[in-house]
Homo-oligomer: A and B are copies of this chain.
């Protein structure tokens, strides 16, 4: 008779027993080895997910099974030092590390495609028509996108809703001249944030100003606002598509003798406290996005059906926004 104490962590034995098969069969299913009856496979997978079973890395490694290599690829253009990517990578590592995978940074070729592949790939900063998608699809490598593309596995924050929340907040405060500090709108995130902003203004019958491009970075935000001020653009609020740009915007306003939020309200996006302590911003749950990416890629590795997920975001009101004077 078995002890009643719940095992702290299920083993392949537990799975085999619960599914009524041998450990060998479970192993085959888990590794996608051919020659397992579909019904058996489904039964095993069901138990695996019910028990939240995760194979032990050490055991897997020791018994000759090679560690699966997961590659992640940051588009060369957007720079691999974007804080969001840094954070996302960190959580990706946390998610994959315990599960017996090896994570590696995939270098880019001169044409921007990954130089080499891995057993599974996470693509950062994806946009529709991203050439990396057909590239990977053609090679049969399971992959998951941080971003969006039809008929693929992807996960992203609800950028559109976030932008709406941010803009609505400013409108509610009486602002009508709201400048959008945007990133390159060929990227999905920048595009959706722009759309959300425009949507709210259209609903409110307020004319949108011509967006200014801050390239998602601090200096870009600074210079864009400085240029707008120099050009005499009138605005009482800024909605920046990233906290970094918001940070640059605040600095530029200060350098021009304008107070935040006294003269101009500023909202950011991401919620990275490093870039503006009292900044009103839209919080992304980066950890959850990363965890979801891990889950989706594992599904891909096991050949399960394609699906995607949108992670909610939330407006965090702090001290950088105020009622229009």
A28 at the interface (CB under 8 A from B): no
Q: Is the CB of B219 within 8 A of A248?
A: yes
Q: How many copies does the complex hold?
A: 2
**Chain B: minimal CB distance from A255 (Å):** 7
Q: Is the CB of B80 within 8 A of A81?
A: no
For window 44-80 of A, CB contacts with B under 8 Å fall at 56-59, 61-62, 67, 79-80
Considering the complex, give the chain B residue whose CB is closest to the CB of A247. B219
Other-chain contact of A62, B62, B102, B274 (Cβ < 8 Å)? B62
Interface-lining segment among A34-42, A93-101, A298-306: A93-101
Q: Is the CB of B81 within 8 A of A105?
A: no
Q: Interface size for chain A: under 10, 10 to 19, 20 to 34, or 35 or more residues?
A: 20 to 34
Q: Is the CB of B219 within 8 A of A80?
A: no
Q: Is the CB of B103 within 8 A of A255?
A: no
Considering the complex, give the chain B residue whose CB is closest to the CB of A62. B58
For window 228-274 of A, CB contacts with B under 8 Å fall at 247-248, 251, 255, 272, 274
A197 at the interface (CB under 8 A from B): no
A83 at the interface (CB under 8 A from B): yes
The 6 sampled A-B contact pairs (Cβ below 8 Å) are A56-B62, A58-B58, A58-B100, A81-B272, A86-B86, A219-B248
Residues of A within 8 A of B (CB): 56-59, 61-62, 67, 79-81, 83, 86, 89-90, 93-94, 97-98, 100, 102-105, 217-219, 222-223, 247-248, 251, 255, 272, 274
